[in-house]
Amino acid sequence: MFDVIIAGCGPTGATLAAELRLHDVRVLVLEKEPEHVASFVRLVSLHVRTLELMAMRGLLDRLLENGRQRTVGGAFVAVPKPAPRGMEDAYQLGMPQPVVDRLLEEHAVELGAEVRRGCEVTGVEQDDEGVTVELAGGERLRARYLVGCDGARSTVRKVLGVGFPGEPSRNDTLMGAMEVGAPPEEVAAKVAEVRETWKVFHVGAFGGTIQRVVVPAVAVSEDRTATLDDFKEGLRAVAGTDFGVHSPRWLSRFGDATRQVEQYRVGRVLFAGDAAHIHPPAGGQGLNLGVQDAFNLGWKLAGEIRGWAPEGLLDTYHAERHPVGEDVLNNTRAQVELMSTSAGAQAVRRLFEELMDLDEVNRYLLEKITAIGVRYDFGPGPELLGRRLPDLDLKIGRLYDQLRRGRGLVLDRTERLTAGGWSDRVDVIADPTAALDVPALLLRPDGYVAWIGDDQQDLEEHLARWFG
């Protein structure tokens, strides 16, 4: 019997497996694809909060070697504005998703996760003691918990009959790589003209003679397939020409449905990533959201398995992450509306562009996209409570480097506090030089501030609340 089975080894499943392994949880990841699917290359942006989490686990350098840094300015609805004050040095990291997926899986395996490829989950049953997972081919496996990280069309969600309420797709977008017959100057001029109105439209270099084409589809397709004729039709509809496209390397289609599971936990089964929420790719947030779900869930589920989790800790996963997901659904829907070609939407977009000249507005929106604006509701307290703590210089080095093991951390400027009976899962760093406005704080393994104060007894009450 495994402690945890994870269905799906996308970025969410791989991240969760690594987080669980930090706490020595016996974890099995079941992935239906026999090998990494790199046949089509979706470019993704990793945003500030994800990069911070990667730095906390020592993964940032590997990602930096493989990605391209860009300013965070313009990440909301592709309005080309500079970064707001204080975020000038912040960046988003762009790279092909298969590279991110591979690095995260390698990390999980290095930490001891078992990943079985070519294993498709087809059935799930749960009882008081655990979950039985059935694979295509009939093999049955047992675990104490199952986490569905099996993407937008989650089988785990479907076989358990978990609702996925929301809005169906109203607009499909086609994305592919192909040769373009028309001369480059002609294409460039036309693209500039069309993009005045159609924001979701692009024809540009992809590598060699191949061009990346993004164009609205003329009609929504339920089965999500794409053909070269769909591209030609879409191009003719918005640009008046199909640019003589031919010889496609890969073709894909995505919609703008927004849906979210009502409960992230159903007994011994939990949902994370696209299995829990889908939304349009505006702002490039989906992968980031899933990775952050995994960081929120990992240490809580590990606490449950190890037996130290206080009553109700696992349920805080839904309580904290559902509202964050809901906010992303909301902001991506808003961005889709702002990219619409209707005269009314274009007028609202112009107004938005003016508003984004106000530093506060620009910052507010970018804090959403980068997820550094997330504040969990831990009850009343100072502004920093429930928020992420940026990296800091400490006497012993960088703060984030001290978080590699996924443990709690008391950062103490008073040099008086101890972790008492929690020292097997919470570290203490006493450092009067730490650049903090507060005497001491408790950081959860996912890097959120769970307590602020200077009193040992008060600290212990909060250690008990979070670490049993």
Q: Are 172 and 219 in contact (CB under 8 A)?
A: yes
Q: Are 147 and 269 in contact (CB under 8 A)?
A: yes
- Closer by beta carbon to ligand FAD, 11 or else 325: 11
| Nearest distance in Å: CB 412, ligand FAD | 35
First to last CA, the chain: 25
Please select the residue that binds ligand FAD; options are 4, 5, 10, 459, rule is CB under 6 A: 10
Assess 245 for contact with ligand FAD (CB under 6 A).
no
* Widest pairwise Cα distance in the chain: 73
Structure tokens at 76: 């909301």
* Residue list 36-65, contact with ligand FAD (CB under 6 A): 42, 44-45
Please select the residue that binds ligand FAD; options are 290, 303, 408, 453, rule is CB under 6 A: 290
Assess 274 for contact with ligand FAD (CB under 6 A).
yes
- Closer by beta carbon to ligand FAD, 155 or else 335: 155
Please select the residue that binds ligand FAD; options are 30, 369, 428, 443, rule is CB under 6 A: 30
Assess 370 for contact with ligand FAD (CB under 6 A).
no
Assess 11 for contact with ligand FAD (CB under 6 A).
yes
Half-sphere exposure of 327 (CA within 13 A, CB side): 17
Please select the residue that binds ligand FAD; options are 3, 5, 6, 8, rule is CB under 6 A: 8
Q: How far is CA 259 from CA 20, 152, 295, 369, 445, in A?
A: 27, 9, 22, 18, 29
* CA gap 39, 5 in Å, rounded: 27
Please select the residue that binds ligand FAD; options are 78, 82, 117, 120, rule is CB under 6 A: 120
Supply the Cα-derived Rg of the chain in whole angstroms: 23
- Closer by beta carbon to ligand FAD, 326 or else 458: 326
- Closer by beta carbon to ligand FAD, 333 or else 465: 333
**Which range touches ligand FAD (CB under 6 A), out of 19-27, 286-294, 337-345, 372-380?**
286-294
Q: How far is CA 437 from the centre of its chain?
A: 30
| Nearest distance in Å: CB 224, ligand FAD | 10
Assess 202 for contact with ligand FAD (CB under 6 A).
no
Task: Give the contact letters, 79-108, x = binds to ligand FAD (CB under 6 A), - = no.
Answer: ------------------x-----------
* Residue list 386-415, contact with ligand FAD (CB under 6 A): none
DSSP codes of every residue in 375-440: ----SS--TTTTSB----EETTEETGGGGTT--EEEEESSS----GGGTTTEEEEE-TTS--SSSE
| Nearest distance in Å: CB 52, ligand FAD | 15
Q: How far is CA 296 from CA 23, 27, 125, 315, 448, in A?
A: 14, 17, 25, 11, 9
- Closer by beta carbon to ligand FAD, 159 or else 237: 159
| Nearest distance in Å: CB 326, ligand FAD | 16
* Residue list 142-201, contact with ligand FAD (CB under 6 A): 149-151, 155, 175
Whose tokens are 């959120």? That residue is 448
Q: Are 199 and 305 in contact (CB under 8 A)?
A: no
Helices (H), 32-183: 48-56, 60-66, 97-110, 155-159
**Count of chain residues binding ligand FAD (CB under 6 A):** 32
List of residues contacting ligand FAD (CB under 6 A): 7-13, 30-33, 42, 44-45, 97, 120-121, 149-151, 155, 175, 254, 273-274, 281, 284-288, 290
